[in-house]
Structure 1
């Protein structure tokens, strides 16, 4: 049985950085019981009304950002698609009554490849790309993840790429690793307790219950937070959560790595 993971993709620069967080990502394959057959990954940067499931023979790399060093635009992550796993993903969603569609034209955005190149730098694991819908309720997002839980027993690694504290209005880009805002830490502390207790009810009401939720997850940017909900739902059959890493960059940009379920 594969665990599922939430992985913060941070700023695009993370793709070429070496720090404690990228080291934690480098070590993630060692936490798995075996090499995955495929990776199913939700990206905060692919929003769609219906659940989209993407596969291609080889995914092109989308550089969906601007104003960064040229080295970032030269990165390619030529992951192969996996049509059989994509079809199985669609079947599971359809059986759960979830509107779903196949996409065979969209490449991997930086929410996908920034984290994947740290975990599997050789792009040697086939990928199925998934969209997110921030307009759904937390419970609906959780149910989508839950519908995909059977994939974990078929050696499919389910990942969610986004950010738990992600608000450009409060980031201090002059500061890299120091002067963390207290409110950001308080939100992460609340989230750690809520997820570890598997309190889906409180999570569904995080806007009212979590300290500084309006700063951590701005109303205009919930897509980064909801990736976590999908992959938590994928481990509903075990309901174990473990925060493997947490650090904060630029005052308030969280680098968090969460494992849901156990490796078996």
Structure 2
């Protein structure tokens, strides 16, 4: 029986090492956590491997983590000491890393292998709730430091065949990422306006969607939502990998940290045997 083509996902990954925390701060992520549990259920079977494009890894050219046993990157500040000793112990996959490099090379896109790169919090914060058994191999692909949306859409188009090979492609960022404004109420309205544009845009499929994303700075409150677009660019890769397929909202919250709006998205269809309650839930 031929393998089903896997959908792609953009996940708004929340803040810091939240799955490993307890107490009031942890409660900010209850809705996000449930969406990741739903994602696991709608995928039905575990993928052979996961390719994560995280907003927390940028390199001068593209790089691919290729270690057998990746370590951890504690890329956050001001948390209790124990959160700098946590570990997500999923294996790496040198085989997948080599396959990604091959595919990109055939598309004329250079990428280097990095055997030392560990899991940053853009990766382990979503994978801990998604696959808590830590038994699915994980590879990361860096962002190109240019943060060029068209380039990252092209990378996604090149990587699309992986979806037929049992590889789950996940972009990890945030639909709203203005840390300064998040500390008060200044982000409430910009996050709402940009998120509305994003949901409308991502409901489309094909070239019109990609064209709008390459000009995302023209969206309402675009730069107020993303003063720097590192947490938006992973979206381009997963959209490029599913360019002709419709988008659906998998997580939407309008009271994130007291009033921010945040969303996650799926592109393409879930396996036919998935629970209908976790099927398409596109929110206009």
Does the Cα contact within 8 Å between 1:46 and 1:132 map onto a contact in 2?
A: yes
Does the Cα contact within 8 Å between 1:59 and 1:81 map onto a contact in 2?
A: yes
CA deviation string 1:137-192 (max 9, x = no partner) = 2111101011100000011000111112100120126x8xxx97122111100110
Q: Does 1:206 align with 2:211?
A: no
Look up the SS of the partner of 2:232 in the other structure.
helix
Q: Which stretch shifts more, 122-131 or 5-14?
A: 5-14
Mapping of 1:234-245 within 5 angstroms?
234-236=241-243, 238-245=244-251
CA deviation string 1:231-262 (max 9, x = no partner) = 111112x4211011112523575542210111
Mapping of 1:77-156 within 5 angstroms?
77-156=88-167
User: Counterparts of 1:20 and 1:241 in 2: how far apart (Å)?
Assistant: 20
What displacement does 1:107 show? 0.7
User: Counterparts of 2:262 and 2:145 in 1: how far apart (Å)?
Assistant: 20
Which of the numbers 182, 187, 202 marks the counterpart of 1:195? 202
CA deviation string 1:109-153 (max 9, x = no partner) = 111111111101121100111101251421111010111000000
Q: Does 1:5 align with 2:9?
A: yes
User: Counterparts of 2:132 and 2:195 in 1: how far apart (Å)?
Assistant: 29
Partner of 1:217: 226
Q: 1:155 to 1:33 in 2, by over 3 A?
A: farther
Partner of 1:247: 253
Mapping of 1:17-96 within 5 angstroms?
17-18=26-27, 19-96=30-107
User: TM-score, structure 1 length as denominator?
Assistant: 0.91
Partner of 2:189: 182
Partner of 1:258: 265
What displacement does 1:207 show? 0.7
CA deviation string 1:194-230 (max 9, x = no partner) = 111132111111112x111110011xx2111101111
CA RMSD of aligned residues (A): 1.8
User: Counterparts of 1:79 and 1:258 in 2: how far apart (Å)?
Assistant: 24
Q: Structure 2: give runs of 5+ residues left out of the alignment.
A: 272-284
User: Counterparts of 2:122 and 2:223 in 1: how far apart (Å)?
Assistant: 23
Does the Cα contact within 8 Å between 1:63 and 1:109 map onto a contact in 2?
A: yes
Partner of 2:276: none
Does the Cα contact within 8 Å between 2:11 and 2:264 map onto a contact in 1?
A: yes
**How many residues align structurally?**
256
Q: 1:229 to 1:70 in 2, by over 3 A?
A: same
